[in-house]
Structure formats: C-alpha cells, structure tokens
Chain A
Amino acid sequence: MPTSIQESRSRAVETVLDELISHSRNLLKCVQCGACTGSCPSGRRTQLRVRRLMEKVLMGFEDVLNSDDLWLCTTCYVCFDRCPRDAQPTSVIKRLRNIAVRKGFMKAAHQKVARLFCDTGHLVPINDEVRAVRKSLGLSELPPTVHSYPESLKELETILEATGFRRMTG
C-alpha cells in the first residue's frame, strides 16, 4: 500500500492524466457529487463507481488502467448527460480504455473481437445460417459490404496497419 498520493503516482500516470485533460478539460471540474454513479445501470449491479474512477484519475492512481471496472461501462452516456459539471465521464472512461489497451491491458474476449474486425472488417461477420436466410429473403447471399469486396478489406488492413491497431490489440 502506498503511504502517500505522491508515492502511488508515477511519471507515466501523470502523462495519462495529461493526455486525458488535453481531451477532456472538464474532468478537472468534477465535484464528486455522485450523480454519475447513481445514474449508472451497470454500477447498480457491479463494483463500477464512476465517481470514484474520476477521483482516482484526478489523483493519479495507476490501478485504474488495469482495473476490471473500466470495462463494466456500457457507454450508455446517462452520467455524461446528467453530470452537473459536464465532466464527461463516459468520454473519460473511453479514453482510459484507449490508454489501457496501449499499455497491454486487454481482455481476451476483446482481443478476439478485435481480431474478427481485422480479419473480416466486421465485428459480427456473416455465417452460413445467415447466408441462407439472406437468400430466402431475396437478398444477395453476401451483403454489399467488405464481405463482397476483397479490395475493401485490403484498404481496411492498410488503415489498421497505419494506426497500429492489429499490433496493439493482438
């Protein structure tokens, strides 16, 4: 257990906070009123406490990045809309997740979904059963998406390569 806030902080975490603040300045205005937590449909059944997450970020606690709590948010944005200080908690959570992924904190299930995206261009790709349904409805067996255009999948691969997505989520 760290004995002081200073000890629990690392330079790296300060950079995290800097990055967050550069996007979401209002984060600094959080009054810890709890309207976010009270509004959270996930927090009613899990340990997710959006207010506490905000405070931890502000205080520079590193453990927010590898905490499971970060991934319990469904991004329903109710806290975002009700926040009396426009601290935009949902956006803060999404940006924290981005940093966590960059640092290698990612769930296996999410890595699987990311791989599907890289390989097929869809998070939910087609399967045989649905191919048949499509035909029975008079639709093309494959939709006119990346599924029908291999060159489009190439384009996507080019983008994912350029942004380092595959590497990051692999």
Chain B
Amino acid sequence: MKDEPLKEPVRIGVFICHCGSNIAGTVNVEALAEFSGKLPGVEFSTHYVYLCSDPGQGLIKDNVKQRGLNRVVVAACSPRMHEETFRRTVKESGLNPYLLEVANIREQCSWVHMNQKEAATEKAKALVAAAVMKSLHNEPLEPLTIEVEKSVLVVGGGVAGIQASLDLADQGFKVYLVEKQPSLGGHMAQLDKTFPTLDCSSCILTPKMVEASRHENIELLVYSEVKSVGGNVGGFEVTVLRKPRFVREELCRACGLCAEKCPVRVPNEFDMGLGERKAIYIPFPQAVPLKYTIDPEHCLYHQKGVCRVCEKFCPEKAVDFDQKPVEVKLKVGAIVIATGYEPYDCSQKYEYGYGRYKNVITNLEFERMVSASGPTYGQILRPSDRKPPRRVAFLQCVGSRDVNSNKYCSRICCMASVKQAHQVKEKDPSSDVVIFYTDLRCFGKGYEEFLERVQGEGVKVVRGRVAEVLEDVSGNLRLRYENTYLGEVFEEEFDLVVLAAGLIPSDVEELRTILKLSTTPDGFLAEAHPKLRPVETFTDGIYVCGTAQGPKDIPDTVAQASAAASRASALLSKGVVTVEPITAEVDEDRCGGCGLCVQACFFNAIELEVREGMKRSKVNQVLCKGCGVCGATCPSGAIKMRHFTDEQLKSEVEAILSTVRR
C-alpha cells in the first residue's frame, strides 16, 4: 500500500452539481462556485446541471487533464449515491480515485432546507469548505484484491431459495441450501392452487424441490440453521448447525411404519394445526427429502424415557436416538437470504375474534382445508361442526394497511381471497360469498381479469372494512360493517369468516445481527437501493430475495430469486473482488499491546501478535470495515483510520467552524 503524500503542490478542482433543480433550486450554485474558487489550494471551480451525466463527468476529466488538477471535490448528492461514479471518473482522468472528496449538498442541505435559500447556500459553502480542507490531506490509496470462493450459501428453502439455488447450481457454482424445517417447500408448499391461473401449487413446486435435492451442485442442509458467519465478501466462513432428526437419512426409506406405530398425536404445523401428525413424522407427503424426523418436544422417549416403538418397528434400523447436533463449516463467496415471511398473528386483532371464535380462520388455514392432501381432504368445513359453510365472508387487510399493526400493504391477500372465494363457489355454487375490502388491489398480470371472472361467478365484493365480528351460541358469526357505497350499517350473519392475514417478516433477528443487515421501517430486510439495487444488501456479497425483502406474490418472488442468483453469479464469475482500502492501520512504535482495540472491534478484524517479544495489534485489512471504533478506543493514539485520519477530520471541522463564524 502506497500512502506517502503527494510530492507535487496541491491543485484542487471543485465541481458543483445542480442536480437539475434539486440543488440549484435552493442553493445559489454560482455564489457557491465563486466562494469555492477562493479556498486554499483550489485551482478551479465550476458548476454544472448534472455532473453524474456523461458530459458532466467529461467536464471533470477535461479539467483535471487540462489544468493539471490533482485533487477533485464534487459537491452533489450523497456519496452513497454517486461516490463510486465519481471515483471512476477521477480514475479515468489519471488520478488515484481516493483523491476524490464528495460534499453532500443535496440530502444534507438543499432537500432539508428547501424554504431557507440563503441559509442553505451558507451551509453548502461550509460543507464545500470542509471537503476542500479535507482534500488537502487526502492521500492516494490502493484497493485490496481478494479471490472469490466459487460457492454460495442460500438461506431458506422456500420457492425463493430453491429458485436461487437452481439458477446458481445450473451455472456450475456449488450451492449450500439451508432450511430450518425438515423439508424444502416453505409456504408455497402449503398452498392449494395459485392465482390467477389456478395451477396446483404442489404440482409446480414439487418438481423444483426434487430437482434441487438431486442437483449435483446443490448440497441440501435441511433441519439446519446458520449459527455464525465470519469473513467477508468472496470468503465467508459459515457454521451451520444440523439439528438431529434422530433418524439416519441414508437409511430411512419413508415407509411410514414408524409413524403408524407412534402413539403420540401432535397438531401438524404444516396444516396450521388443523390436522395431526405423530411425534415421528414427515410434514407432508411430498416432503423433500422424504425422510422421517422425530420431534423431541413430543416424543415419549425424549420426554419420559419410555416407548422407542418406532425404533422397534423400523425395518431399516434407521431410528437413532443417539444422534447429536452437528456443526458444519462452509466457505462461500456469496450468501443469498431467502428467509421468507410468517403470517400476521390475527388474534392481535381482537375484535375479529380469531383464536376465540372457532369459525374464524385465516386464509392459510383455508388453503390447508381446500387442499386435496390437507386435513379435510379438500372439503371446506367450518371447524365448529364440520359442516360445509353456506355463507362465507373474507375480511381483507387484517394486519396490513393499519397503523395499529402494519402500515404496509401485504400485496397477496386480495388475490388470495379472490381465489379462495372462487374455490368456495366452485364447491357450492349456491353459497353466498362476500369479500369485504378497503381497496381491491388486483394489479398483476391476469389479476384483474381473474377478479372479473370470479365476480361473474357470483362472488360479491363489498367496500367496507369490517368493524367487528360477534359470535352467537351456534358458532355463527355476525359481522358489523358499513357498506361504504351505500353509507349504510349492517349486521350480517355468516357461517365462516376467513381473515386475510398480512405478511410479517420471519424472525431472522439472529441472522440479521450476524450478517449486520439492515431492515426497512416495516421490519423486512433492506435492499441497497429500492430501484437500482433491489437484491443487494448494504453488505457486499450478501443478496436478498423473496418475502424476506418485502411482501410479494410467487411470480415476483421467483423473478427476484433469479435476480439475486444473477447478482451473486456476477460476483462469483469475476473471481476476484476489490475491497475498500479505507481501513485501520496500527503505528507499531506507539502501540502498547493493551488489546483494547481487539475487544472493541465488531468485526474480529484485530489480533494481538508478538513481534520482537512485544505484543502488537495487527489489523486484518480484509475484515476491517474502517468503522473507526478501534481508533477511538486506543489510549495511545496508535491507530490511524485511512481516509479519515484525525488530521483530515479536524481540518473538516475547522473549515466548517470558520465558515460559519464568518
């Protein structure tokens, strides 16, 4: 790494962007350019309507070359937006890219002071002065290059994770697909038919599950969870915990004799508790891998030390009560997060009676009921008396579009209810089916047409958010609502109420903390840019797709999974990755070897090593994120942050203070 200061005298160019009217509408850019021209070391200053455009970048390059500039200050939008763009511009002009300094006069100035033009201009001057003064101390830095492992970890075995895995595996990359449940499939496996085409969900998903399990490049790690992730883009070190099935996968032939003999009945989570399974079970008949699992929470042997009936009857001797959790260590170049969603807990919407009234169910429970392989073999029966309902109400936006639960639209529930309403009508055309909605959002391809068809089948749609549900002794339900088109209040009786439960993110708090991912205010994982980087996270080499990123339907999920796979594959195919050289550096002469920095570092990037009999801190340049905590902790001032040295920061602060005082 070369970081000796430039020998030649400093010649700074200041380039001010109008950003159309985003900046120039508030900040007086002419005055700012004039002011900048007089700052120490500034050789040239100018302003331009869109600096990020081709001609804008050309303007920078031409001036660097013609005027022999050796530092560039760009006053524009946030560096998050275009620092990379302008670093490239500076590099193409023949300078080290780290000799660029960005002053954010849009997000931190013009946008927040739109109605204070003069004050905003003064603030912009202070920000540019700070950037110029820092620029005087900027030094050329060389990025580090790392080799990329040609393998990927995919977390989550729903349709998003399966699709991403298949795409990557087909391109020849090794994929480790981790799923916490005993089978692949996720929520899509629970669905009966999918809107708007009414494809059987299992029929389109099962082949993909099987393909994933048989693919030579995919290693399935089901019933497993990610324990820890170290390392960095290109070389993540992952520890996966494989939970014991207490059944040896290589021996189990899924004959089912064990479950037949098992005496313990447990509500089946896969059937949303509507059906039962045994303590040794497969979650559903199409499970992949098709291997039995013992649930130790309910198994008599695990709980009370007696039974072992399954072991006795297993013809393959596959039951193994001595199985222990196993840690698997992986090294991967990239990670795809596809951890999906959970349904909103409708019992929190107390006025709808879910959890108290037997005949109030959720739409995922309805899916299990209407599924031919479900607990009622496809019959729609109301839970209280197992009779087919004659009047069914669907209530929209339960746990969505509601400041009391989640503000966002869950995006799938309108169509899910329209489809389910169709299925009620299909089974019993004489039944009354009503969908209560605030707005029916049927925006996808073929969705509006499907709604039209279902309305034609006699399903009624009533605009009004149901206020409350009351139950009578027969288990019938009375809905209180206003038909907002009529402006009239009704109390109407139904046999069965289906709540369109919203989507909430799966609980991935642990994983999120391990990977240092951020979330959007709704709790879903944040993408790096909502439009331009929709599958990347703020952590290099980590991608996100499916409902982990936000509520979406199957087509969008699959498209996004392929997008995530494609971004990961771009990284892996390139083979090398460069990382920012903005890292900590230890001055060995001043380091006392106290180790405080080692404890302070969030990224395990600092170690103590013994050199010439003395303990000294050593920074791993690949792991270091340049956050600066070690520098602030060091009692002897031995740690310098490249690109953010004390000298650089002080000069910025002084520049701001002296501009403001003026």
Contact = CB atoms under 8 A, between A and B. Distances in A.
Query: Are A and B in contact, CB atoms below 8 Å, in the complex?
Result: yes
Interface of A: 31-40, 43-44, 49, 51-52, 81-86
A74 to B, nearest CB: 16
Contact of B465 (A38, A81, A86): A38
Contact of A39 (B401, B403, B467, B483): B467
The residue among A34, A52, A85 with the most chain B CB atoms within 10 A of its own CB is A34
B465 A35 contact: yes
Contact of A82 (B438, B467, B483): B467
The residue among A39, A51, A85 with the most chain B CB atoms within 10 A of its own CB is A39
B34 interface: no
The 4 closest A-B CB pairs, nearest first, are A38-B467, A34-B482, A37-B482, A33-B465
A38 B480 contact: yes
Contacts of B481: 34, 38
A39 B487 contact: no
B488 to A, nearest CB: 8
Contact of B403 (A33, A40, A86): A86
Contacts of B351: 82
A132 B4 CA distance: 99
Interface in B472-503: 480-484, 487, 489, 491
Contacts, number: 65
Nearest to B468: A39
B489 A37 contact: yes
A43 B481 CA distance: 11
A86 B403 CA distance: 7
Contact of A38 (B403, B404, B466): B466
Interface string B255-281: 000000000000000000000000000
Contacts of A51: 482, 484, 487
B484 A32 contact: yes
Contacts of A43: 482, 489
B641 interface: no
Contacts of B487: 37, 49, 51-52
A44 B489 contact: yes
The prevalent SS among residues of B at the interface is loop
16 contacts: A32-B484, A33-B438, A33-B484, A34-B481, A35-B465, A37-B484, A38-B464, A38-B482, A39-B467, A43-B489, A44-B480, A49-B487, A49-B489, A81-B404, A85-B403, A86-B403
Given A34-B481, A34-B484, A37-B482, A84 B466 contact: no
Contacts of A52: 487
Contacts of B438: 31, 33, 84
B397 interface: yes
B486 to A, nearest CB: 10
Interface in B335-378: 351
B399 to A, nearest CB: 10
A26 to B, nearest CB: 9
Contact of B482 (A31, A49, A81, A85): A49
B402 interface: yes
Given A34-B481, A37-B489, A84-B397, 5 more contacts: A31-B439, A33-B484, A38-B468, A49-B482, A82-B351
Interface string B233-263: 0000000000000000000000000000000
Nearest to A45: B489
Nearest to B437: A33
Given A43-B489, A49-B487, A82-B351, A34 B403 contact: no
A123 to B, nearest CB: 31
A150 B110 CA distance: 61
Contacts of B489: 37-38, 40, 43-44, 49
A37 B482 CA distance: 6
A39 B484 CA distance: 13
B467 A35 contact: yes
A38 B351 CA distance: 12
Contacts of A33: 438, 464-465, 484
Contacts of B463: 34
The residue among A35, A36, A86 with the most chain B CB atoms within 10 A of its own CB is A35
B403 A84 contact: yes
B478 to A, nearest CB: 12
A33 B437 CA distance: 8
A82 B351 CA distance: 9
B154 to A, nearest CB: 36
A31 B402 CA distance: 11
Contacts of B439: 31
A57 B245 CA distance: 63
B329 to A, nearest CB: 48
Contact of B464 (A34, A83, A84): A34
Interface string B400-421: 0111100000000000000000
